[in-house]
Structure formats: structure tokens, C-alpha cells
Amino acid sequence: ETLQQLQTRNRELAEAREQQGATSEILRAISSSPTEIQPVFDVIAQSARRLCDGNYCTVARYDGELVHLAAHAYVRLEGVEAMQRFFTKPPSRALALGRTILDGAVVHIPDALADPEYDQSVAQAVQFRSIVGVPMLRDGASIGAITVSRAEVRPFTETEIALLKTFADQAEIALENARLLGELRARTGELTRSVEELTALRDVSRALSS
């Protein structure tokens, strides 16, 4: 092997270890607080921005009607303010997040300033140029999205997009775990109340019979 090949292989191994470390950190966040979604989204936003060499990352949830901001990393205050008008509203094709949710597929915008659909006021406020969006899917339906953006025109690689898909899968697992645990707790609460009511009825019956 040449020195250049060795350097390339070492760099790839280092990147693979870093990616593995990030996915492990997300899984730890899921297992340590299965009903707390926010720590998971925060780790995903930070990891996605860093490992995909982006300047910004946004994570959003979609309830079937409205888009909700879940987490963001390194988005400037004026950028967050510019984007806020698109949240707690139906998804819009004016942002990569909205397109990703509506299409339920990867959206890759090489240059937001050259995209006729993209909201230019947001692109300029946040300094978005190259953007990639990956959907969170449950049974084929969009339940959210992750976008990573760069301040310069530099499209994302297939490897980076594949990593974002892994993060999106982990986000879906976290949401599903929280939903199932919430349902289980609600059902347990209902059963507890039913048992208490039956116990009270039994005590009343005993009192009447005696």
C-alpha cells in the first residue's frame, strides 16, 4: 500500500469509529430515559451536524398535520427566528424540512439560493446553501425529518446521507418507545383505578351484608 492509501484507510477507520460512537451515544440516550425524547433529539442534532460536516442541523417532528421543532444545532438566533414561522404549521415546500416530510424521501438541495421553491429569506438569514433532508418514517409515513445544512455550496455524500438515515431510524425508535411506554403507563393507571374501584365495592358489599 502507498502512503496515500494508508492515510485514506486510516481516515475512513477513524470516521467509522466516530460514527459508531455517535450511534452508541444515541442508543444510550434512548435506553437511559425511554420516555424522555428531548435528550435523544439533542444528541442527534449535535452528532448529525458534526459527522456530516455541516454548519447547522435541525430536527423536526410531524404529527400528521403540523411540523414541530424538536432540536437544532448551531443555528443562529436570527435563523431560528426566520424558521419559526414554518413550525406548528403544515409542512411547506419552502423549506427542506417540509419537502422531506411531504415526500417521505431524501431531499438534497445542492444550492438553496439557486432553488426556486426555497424560501430565500430563510436561506439568507441562516446562510443555508447546500442542504440535505432525511425523513423519519413509521410504516412508510413521515413522522419527522432531520436536515443538515452548509454555509457553502458543497453537496453531501452518499455516506453522509446513509448516516443520517441511521440517525432518523434511531429517532423513530425513540419516539415509538416513548409512545408504547406512555400507552402502557396509561393502561396500568386504568387497571389500578379499576382494582381500587372493585376493592371499594367489595368493602361496601361486606359492610352492607354484615
Q: For residues 35 and 24, what is the distance between their CA atoms, to the nearest angstrom?
A: 18
Write the DSSP symbol of residue 112. G
Determine the average pLDDT of the residues in 166-185: 80
Residue-level pLDDT at 142: 96
Residue-level pLDDT at 70: 92
99 or 185, which is more confident: 99
178 or 69, which is more confident: 69
Average pLDDT, the chain: 83
Residues 36-52 pLDDT 10s:
788 889 999 999 999 99
Q: Give bridge partners of residue 57 from the DSSP assignment.
A: 73, 148
User: Cα–Cα–Cα angle for 106, 111, 112, nearest 5°?
Assistant: 80
Handedness of CA 108, 81, 141, 99 (dihedral sign): negative
Residue-level pLDDT at 148: 96
